[in-house]
Structure 1
Amino acid sequence: MLDVVAVVLAAVACALAALALRRTTTRTAGADVEALPEDVHGLRQEVAALKAENRDALRHLSVVRYDAFGDVGGHLSWSLAVLDDAGHGVVLTSIHGRSEARTYAKSVSSWTCEQQLSPEEEEAIEHARP
């Protein structure tokens, strides 16, 4: 059961690392500190460019832990929302029972999902919203 949670979290970590690596490799390799603008207008343009680049980052996270079944305690079930500024991303859910755990992934677009969401998944999305 914990192995499934570890695999899911490892997959999320790998996806985030791949996004970060992709973004760092797209920057020019020859750019160094001397190439930075010295005036306020140039710095404002740099900040605006960084903000625009950051919009697609999956940086809004929320975890909701709960008991999915009355006979299983410890809040071992969970829903994890991982979203960008526009509300695009994924909700991962792991339902823990006495003899098994099941994991689900649902795509989120503009803070909503085409598939039916559980109350815990909706709560995770709402808590991830800035």
Structure 2
Amino acid sequence: MLLSVVALVVAVLAVLLALGLARQLGVLRRRLAEVERSSPIGDADARRLRAEVDAALSRVAVVRYDAFGDMGGRLSFSAALLDGQGDGLVLTSIHGRGESRTYAKGVTAGESETTLTPEERQAVAAARAGSPTA
């Protein structure tokens, strides 16, 4: 029971983090556009600012699911945290009756050297598309 509550709390926090990061990215992009329009910023400075925004882990998506058929509540999840080039990581928490396991897999250009589960691929695709949940 305690593991169920912990997994649910982690999933909710991951969704809130995804939404918060998406909001912050929008603010940063608007501010950058304002700076480019209103000040005599040089092309090199603008490129550097854009590169910094794209390098941030700003594309986040969470997929919740039931890892086992006899479990309810969609307590397992995969969360993709990517930058503008699709680089980053996927965090997965598999919740079972007696235990939970957590995995982290690196992602480069939307792909991983480690085989991604369907849920992890779904999270990566949603993050690359800019959708916080899939």
State the TM-score, normalized to the length of structure 2: 0.66
Deviation, structure 1 residue 49: 2.9
For 1:8-66, what per-residue CA distance to the aligned partner results, in whole angstroms no more than 9, with x for missing partners? x79xx8xxxxxxxxxxxxxxxxxxxxxxx9x9672363443321221210000000000
Count of matched residue positions in the alignment of Structure 1 and Structure 2:
102
Instruction: Map 1:55-94 onto structure 2 (within 5 A).
Output: 55-94=54-93
Q: Give 1:77 deviation, angstroms.
A: 0.2
- Alpha-carbon distance change, 123 to 114 in structure 1, aligned in 2, over 3 angstroms: same
Amino acid across the alignment from 1:49: R
- The alignment partner of 1:64 has SS state of strand
Residue 111 of structure 2: aligned partner: 112
Residue 42 of structure 1 aligns with an amino acid whose one-letter code is P
Equivalent in the alignment of 1:99:
98
1:60-97 per-residue CA deviation (whole Å, 9 max, x = no partner) reads 00000000001110000000000000111000000000
Which structure has the highest helix share of the two? 2
Q: Is the Cα–Cα contact under 8 Å of residues 95 and 102 in structure 1 kept in the other structure?
A: yes
CA contact (8 A) 1:4 1:101 kept: no
**Secondary structure of 2:41's match?**
helix
Kept after mapping to 1: 8 A contact 2:78/2:92: yes
SS in 2 for 1:93: strand
**Is the radius of gyration larger for structure 1 or structure 2?**
1
Letter in 2 for 1:90: L
Gaps of 5+ in 1: 14-36
Equivalent residue runs for 1:3-82 within 5 Å:
6=10, 42-43=40-41, 45=43, 46-82=45-81
Given residue 52 of structure 1, which amino acid in structure 2 is its aligned partner?
Answer: A
Q: What percent of counterpart residues are identical? A: 49
Q: Counterpart of 1:125?
A: 124
What root-mean-square deviation, in Å, do the aligned CA atoms of Structure 1 and Structure 2 show?
2.7
